């Protein structure tokens, strides 16, 4: 059973992200280390994604002006393509609705397969630049 829980160890979550994103950092010549990821994420709402109490990913959110910013969904490689990302987005939608947000926004690397997941669950692309798609999901 999938469970979302507050992160217990921010450094460990930063390392998870660094390991999971390394391929994209190399593609786009982003020279980050664990301290860079930690500093960029420590003020966000950080969650562990657990399956049967095993860490399979990390989720990060922020809230501003009734908009939920989906800052990060990291699912470990061995668990990708199994529907966990869509389940996590369901959790994000419920949390954003509870916070009375009217939309969820995100940006995703253009080369990331997550773009297809986001489109499939209801996000639309508003704009793009040389690296990212900027996407929004309106909430009822």
Domain with 15, as residue range(s), is: 2-138
Instruction: Write down the pLDDT at residue 3.
Output: 96
CATH number, position 112: 3.40.630.30
Name which of 6-10, 20-24, 79-83 the model is least confident about.
20-24
Instruction: Write down the pLDDT at residue 86.
Output: 96
Q: What is the pTM of this model?
A: 0.92
- How many structural domains does the chain have? 1
Q: Model confidence over 67-99: pLDDT tens digits?
A: 999 999 999 999 999 999 999 999 999 999 999
Ranges of beta strands (E only) in 23-138 are: 45-51, 54-64, 67-75, 103-109, 124-128, 132-138
Q: In b/e form, how buried is each residue of 64-100, taking b as 16+ CB within 10 angstroms?
A: eeebbbbbbbbbbeebbeeebbeebbebbbebbeeee
Is 140 a residue whose pLDDT tops 90?
no
Distances (CA, A) of 34 to 6, 101, 118, 127, 131: 19, 31, 27, 29, 22
pLDDT band at 33 (very low <50, low <70, confident <90, very high): confident
Instruction: Write down the pLDDT at residue 30.
Output: 77
Is 27 a residue whose pLDDT tops 80?
no
């Amino acid at each position: 059973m999938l469970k979302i829980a507050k992160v217990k160890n921010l450094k460990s979550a930063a390392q998870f992200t660094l390991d999971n994103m390394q391929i994209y950092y190399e593609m786009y010549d982003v020279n980050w280390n664990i301290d860079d990821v930690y500093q960029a994420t420590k003020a966000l709402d950080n969650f562990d994604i657990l399956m049967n109490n095993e860490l399979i990913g990390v989720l990060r959110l922020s809230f501003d002006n009734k908009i939920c910013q989906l800052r990060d969904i990291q699912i470990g490689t061995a668990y990708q393509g199994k529907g966990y990302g869509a389940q996590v987005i369901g959790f994000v939608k419920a949390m954003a609705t509870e916070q009375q947000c009217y939309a969820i926004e995100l940006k995703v690397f253009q080369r990331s397969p997550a773009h297809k997941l986001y489109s499939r669950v209801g996000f639309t692309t508003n704009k793009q630049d040389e690296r990212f798609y900027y996407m929004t999901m309106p909430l009822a």
